[in-house]
Chain A
Amino acid sequence: MVKAQKNPKRHKSKNCDDSTNPSTSGGDGDRGGGENDAAVGGKPSGGGGSIGQQTSGIRNKQKRSELYHKLKHQKEKTKTKERRKKQKEAARAEELGLEPPPKPVQHTLENTREADDTMVDPNDEEVMADENDDEFAAHFANARPPKVLITTSYKPSKIMYTFLSEMLELLPCAEYYKRNGFPMKKIVKFAANRGYTDLMVFNEDRKQINGLLLVHLPDGPTAHFRLSNLKLGRDIKDHGRSTNHKPELILNHFDTRLGHRLGRMLASLFPQDPQFRGRRVVTFHNQRDFIFLRHHRYIFEEKETRDQAAKDPAKAKKKAVIARLQELGPRFTLKLLSLQKGTFDSRNGEFEWLPKKENKTSRRRFFL
């Protein structure tokens, strides 16, 4: 116990070092340091992990910090040397008119994403056949205009009301009805009877709005989301006021079959005929299984850009059309918690998708 308290990091890193760099494991710090010194002379942290991991086995603070700064300095030097070399090559290539050497591709979480076998191919005949006849087909065929009923959990607070007022501005076909203690299944039934196409229930817990239940009616799928990072429009700097125009809709990166279905579900909240004159756009951007909702007003403008690197002053000014954005309404992040096949029936229903621990095989695996 005492050992653990005294220097937990060192203890742990010693174990680490055992596996990564045997020369610095335990024992004599000095000798270990010396060896390490020689070993990593030329190559920075070749097999040793980070510099901290390499040096942490040395018990003597002075020696340790010497080594640490030495390694750090070496690393910086090699890095700048590489960078200068690359820049020179690029400049030379440009001068000669050749193609600059290719930049190495950066590995991001998105491009190292674990391949999903359910990615939707836009020309897939079976998927099209399925979607021709699914619960949202009537909406996309313009046969069933959206009509959304918004309600809350029991006993909402003032924060919920301000948020709802903004949501009602965001969704053009939405109406609010107070919860009044009705059980969920009854609300679903009432809404279906009154001809609503969707039901949105926002959940609040201790003055934090944290959940959204989206039920497509009459017997469509039910999606349960966790809502986070909510920022009301009035709290955004330089925000604008929304108008009554029907917005355009952007759905980004809903690639897999599940994502496609969810994208259609979100799209069925909005009318199919946007009014471009209103220049209002609502974006659902899916990245790493988080769906970001943004609400903007856009305007296209021509702008002169100056190309400073160009030698020719005449070519320096270029005109480009850019879009400027002003944020309206609320912004928040949604994460899908479950997708159920029928209407709300969390206990006895059938689920189309549930997050399962055994499916979360790696950090690079996403489902939407």
Chain B
Amino acid sequence: MGESSKRKAREEEAPAPPSYRILTADELGLLKVTEVPSGNKWEEAAAKQRWGQPDKQQAITRLQVHCPDWEPDSILVAAARGGGRVTLHVPARPVAGGQPDLGAGSAVEVGSFRAAAPAVTSGRSDTTSHELRGLRVVAGGEGSYKLRLVTCTAGGHVAVHGYDPQEEAVRPGRQGAGGGQGDDDDDDEEEKGATCGSGSGGEASGVVRTWEEQQQRAAAGAAYGFFGRGRWREVLRMQTVSDVQDMDVGSSGRHVAVGGDGHQLRVWDLTAAASASSSAAPEPLFAGKAGKPSRSGLQDLAHVTAVSFVPGRDDQLVLVGTAKHKLWLYDMRAGRKPQSEVVWGEGRISVLLPQPDGSRVWAGNGRGQVEALDMRQAPSRVSMGHALKGSAGSIRSLSLHPSQPLIASVSLDRHLRVHSTITRQLLTKVYLKQALTGVAWLPTPGKPSAARGEEDVGDRRGNDITNGGLEAENGEEEEGNRSEPQPEAPRSEKKKARKAGSENGRTGRRRSSGKGSHDKEGSGKGRSNKGDDKGKGSGKKKTHNRSRHGGAGEE
């Protein structure tokens, strides 16, 4: 079972919480938290915490942060590790006198599961196909699980694990079915299998949990907040194409798009696959074709390296980046060939990150270039622009801040860079010693009392900044399935009042989503949620708010 070791940060009694926190994952399996000191002191950004021990076998290939309320208390970090495992972490907090302070640095692993295909034959030695190539956190959606993790291995095996927030019933012993994944916890073999953590809920994923572990788990759950308490059950497994390079899940959680070396884009419908329940591989909902051949008649070999659904279009538009520096925009309703094609840069497209309102898609390539694809008039006209300079190595991951116009990029040259999306300026560059593979924004803790007032202020500021043009989104627009838990009345009034002025749409949506909700928040974390983070574009940081406080008017 992965390393659940943490290294406590030396916690200075820093009076002011940091402006921003960014989580990065690297090839040694370390999760590092980089903090920008309060007051937006970008030049002093430095890595402050390190979770995990360096171990190449635990190399993280994908990172997703799920933070529905943009609260430091309810963060779930999912890391896809070498061997096909997915480990889930929750930042720990020393529960002291009821004042949770997430500044203390450590993370507890609250679960892990194996996402790789079940080993049909034992003694299987080829494990490269177990490496995880896609990991997405899907919130909401229909079905009994409010939070699901969709993973895809290099061998094309897509697995959906749902999170069941009930307290885990104590049960020793294993459920008979699904012995296939058996032996997992100890997995340190090459296998990229994620052991299906806590739940062997009678589904195909039996994992033995010893009594002690279960107790530990229960204890962890109690101490470490909401995400520690439930368990992950496997919902669905299915086989897609054979050599996958990237995977994305539609915003509704229904569709999964997959592309790889030798395969064009294919999209499956997860609900249909779930209901099919036959052992045969389900048919893809949509299979794309290649774009037009070049002027000399040559057609590129199919090699899809990045896939992304364009949000806001009801899962019909998919953007695909190929190894031959082309971007193809598919419309599933319109036809199998791409609607538009953009040739950009040199080198394979390695990351595609859409802005939550679907107006722009940021693309990073293997040569360190990052540019944004303007989708406002797609598919008739798409154009690239807005280059962010500075990276010397291949871009591995991008992450947008949910409310601020900031984009964090992480590359093989071992640096984390944060740019402003409006001015394209490089705000900070932090050397993080390892080849980095994943990045996500984290919410920052703040003093709860002050935080209230500040959040509003900050929020408004956030609106002001981001109101112009393309930045008008702000994480919240995402499939706002997440809802706010009963916000405390006075605060919500205040917030609504302020918000009403600035962004009607946003508030409206949030309010509406307020209904439907969520027993998740049961524990009465009454803080209003800031950002509905579907986790798709990675957790976004709202710390801006926190920074406003304390120094009132510091800047």
Contacts and interface: CB of A to CB of B under 8 A. Distances in A.
A58 B168 CA distance: 92
B413 A126 contact: no
Contact of A347 (B28, B56, B346, B368): B346
A351 B28 contact: no
Interface string B360-381: 0000001110000000000000
A348 interface: yes
Contacts of B28: 126, 129-130
A133 interface: yes
Contact of A117 (B27, B54, B391, B431): B431
Contacts of B412: 341, 350-352
Given A126-B54, A130-B434, A133-B56, A348 B30 contact: no
Interface in A120-144: 124-127, 129-130, 132-133
A127 B433 contact: yes
Contacts of A273: none
Interface string B432-459: 0111000000000000000000000000
Contacts of A124: 433
A54 B460 CA distance: 58
Given A126-B54, A257-B414, A351 B390 contact: no
A109 interface: no
Contact of B347 (A118, A348, A355, A356): A348
Contact of B350 (A118, A350, A353): A350
Contacts of B325: 347
Contact of B368 (A117, A348, A354): A354
Contact of B366 (A117, A132, A350): A350
A359 B390 contact: yes
Contact of A354 (B55, B367, B433): B367
A126 B29 CA distance: 11
A49 interface: no
A238 interface: no
A349 interface: yes
Given A354-B393, A356-B389, A356-B392, A118 B414 contact: yes
Contacts of B434: 126, 130
B2 to A, nearest CB: 16
Interface residues of A, number: 25
A353 B392 contact: yes
B393 to A, nearest CB: 5
Nearest to A367: B392
A6 to B, nearest CB: 42
A172 to B, nearest CB: 30
A354 B347 CA distance: 12
Interface in B383-408: 389-394
Nearest to A120: B433
A358 interface: yes
Interface residues on B, range: 20 to 34
A359 B366 contact: no
B348 interface: yes
Interface in A324-365: 341, 347-356, 358-359
A351 B431 CA distance: 17
Kindly name the residue among A257, A347, A348, A355 whose own CB sees the greatest number of chain B CB atoms within 10 A: A348
A341 B414 CA distance: 13
B54 A348 contact: no
Contact of B394 (A125, A257, A352, A359): A352
Given A348-B323, A353-B393, A354-B392, A129 B413 contact: no
B433 A351 contact: no
B324 interface: yes
A348 B394 contact: no
Contacts of A347: 324-325, 346-347
B303 interface: yes
Contacts of B390: 356, 358-359
Nearest to B429: A117
Interface in B323-358: 323-325, 346-348, 350
Given A130-B27, A130-B54, A358-B390, A350 B433 contact: no
Contacts of A351: 347, 366-368, 392-394, 412
B87 to A, nearest CB: 18
A130 B29 CA distance: 10
A348 B303 contact: yes
Nearest to A127: B433
Kindly name the residue among A117, A129, A341, A350 whose own CB sees the greatest number of chain B CB atoms within 10 A: A350
Nearest to B412: A352
A355 B348 contact: no
A281 B214 CA distance: 61
A353 B347 contact: no
Contacts of B324: 347-348
Interface string B507-551: 000000000000000000000000000000000000000000000
15 contacts: A126-B433, A130-B27, A132-B56, A133-B56, A257-B414, A347-B347, A348-B347, A349-B347, A349-B348, A349-B366, A350-B348, A350-B394, A351-B368, A354-B367, A356-B390
Given A352-B435, A356-B389, 18 more contacts: A118-B414, A127-B433, A129-B28, A129-B56, A130-B54, A130-B433, A257-B433, A347-B346, A348-B348, A350-B393, A351-B347, A351-B412, A352-B393, A352-B412, A353-B392, A354-B367, A354-B368, A356-B390
Interface of B: 27-28, 30, 54-56, 303, 323-325, 346-348, 350, 366-368, 389-394, 412-414, 431, 433-435
Interface of A: 117-118, 124-127, 129-130, 132-133, 257-258, 341, 347-356, 358-359
